[in-house]
């Protein structure tokens, strides 16, 4: 063993089997709700009299408001680690139901869960590709391994 400060080509995986590269930018944001392993949106609230005001934060979300993917949370500091949707990503994320199969094209719904592209596949926005079938881990939670290739919500026209 050596104490040298040099890259030894060792790869580490974040909790949950998430894989990113050294070029990916991980961001930390305060969060509301429980966005772990879901798509997230950034929320900036206007200051209103006689109401509590939160600093800019992330919460589970998708669709047009999709900002990134929550890969870890620290419940003590209420901080979420986010991979922006423009970065490459591979790992397990929450799926809406068990209908997701390998090679399906997926989008993040308003709850931040992945679901199959609805309607004509040529006209839909694609956020991810399924690398495995969805697996049920509890009564209402399904996980699916996906790949996101630095997409910017690719429109398939």
Pairing of strands 105-108, 39-43: unpaired
Q: What is the pLDDT of residue 156?
A: 52
Q: What is the pLDDT of residue 12?
A: 46
Query: What does residue 61 show for φ and ψ, rounded to 5 degrees?
Result: 180, 175
Map out the domains of the chain as residue ranges: 27-155
Of all residues in the chain, what percent carry a pLDDT higher than 90? 46
Q: How does residue 28 score in pLDDT terms, banded at 50, 70 and 90?
A: very high
Model confidence pLDDT, tens digit, residues 47-69: 777 777 667 899 999 888 899 99
Is the full-model pTM beyond 0.85?
no
In degrees, rounded to 5, the angle at the alpha carbon of residue 54 between the alpha carbons of residues 48 and 60 is 120
Least confident of 3-17, 30-44, 75-89: 3-17
Query: What does residue 30 show for φ and ψ, rounded to 5 degrees?
Result: -65, 155
């Amino acid at each position: 063993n050596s104490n040298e400060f040099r890259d030894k080509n060792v790869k580490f995986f974040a909790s949950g089997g998430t894989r990113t590269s050294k070029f990916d930018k991980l961001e930390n944001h305060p969060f509301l709700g429980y966005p772990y392993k879901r798509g997230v949106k950034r929320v900036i609230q206007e200051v209103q009299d006689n109401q509590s005001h939160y600093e800019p934060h992330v919460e589970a979300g998708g669709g047009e408001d999709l900002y990134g993917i929550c890969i870890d949370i620290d419940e003590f500091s209420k901080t979420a680690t986010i991979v922006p949707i423009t970065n490459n990503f591979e790992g397990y994320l929450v799926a809406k139901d068990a209908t997701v199969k390998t090679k399906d094209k997926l989008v993040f719904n308003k709850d931040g869960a992945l679901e199959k592209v609805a309607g004509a596949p040529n006209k839909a926005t694609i956020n991810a590709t399924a690398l495995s079938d969805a697996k049920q881990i509890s009564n209402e939670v399904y996980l699916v391994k996906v790949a996101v290739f630095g997409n910017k919500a690719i429109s398939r026209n």
